[in-house]
């Protein structure tokens, strides 16, 4: 989750966490780390589908098509990392959607 990127309402995930008294993780860029895997994840993220329940998992079919088109050959641990990032992203998005639903409900109640 991009904690410091504003959403459609102008709030960041960090803002939301602070509003609800939740911790805001410190993001440190690893020295000589696997930044390319995160880059690959964000590229794959653009291919995912969404429904009323939120973002759907990036499928193995999408990963296979993307690697075939890009010429990238994933090692098993890289695939595992991409799937773990995907799961973490979907879990964070589910939390964000719960927050927005609660906020909309509060706004509706105020408007009555």
User: Which pLDDT score is estimated for 79?
Assistant: 95
**Can you name the residues that pair with 55 across neighbouring β-strands?**
50
Residues 32 and 94: their CA atoms lie apart, in Å, by 31
Question: In which element (H, E) is residue 55 found?
Answer: strand 54-55
User: Would you give the DSSP letter of residue 30?
Assistant: P
User: Would you give the DSSP letter of residue 31?
Assistant: T
Residues 64 and 67: their CA atoms lie apart, in Å, by 5
Least confident of 26-30, 73-77, 89-93: 26-30
Per-residue pLDDT reduced to its tens digit, 53-88: 889 999 999 999 999 999 999 999 999 999 999 999
Tokens standing for residue 78: 């890289």
When pLDDT is cut at 50, 70 and 90, the band that residue 1 belongs to is very low
Question: For residue 94, is pLDDT > 60?
Answer: yes
């Amino acid at each position: 989750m991009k904690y410091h990127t504003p959403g459609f309402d102008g709030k960041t995930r960090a803002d939301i966490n602070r509003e609800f008294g939740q911790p805001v993780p410190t993001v440190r860029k690893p020295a000589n780390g696997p930044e390319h895997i995160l880059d690959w994840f964000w590229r794959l993220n653009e291919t995912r589908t969404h429904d009323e329940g939120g973002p759907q998992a990036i499928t193995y079919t999408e990963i296979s098509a993307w690697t075939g088109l890009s010429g990238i050959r994933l090692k098993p641990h890289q695939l595992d990392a991409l799937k773990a990032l995907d799961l973490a992203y979907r879990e964070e998005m589910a939390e964000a959607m719960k927050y927005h639903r609660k906020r909309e409900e509060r706004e509706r109640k105020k408007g009555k």
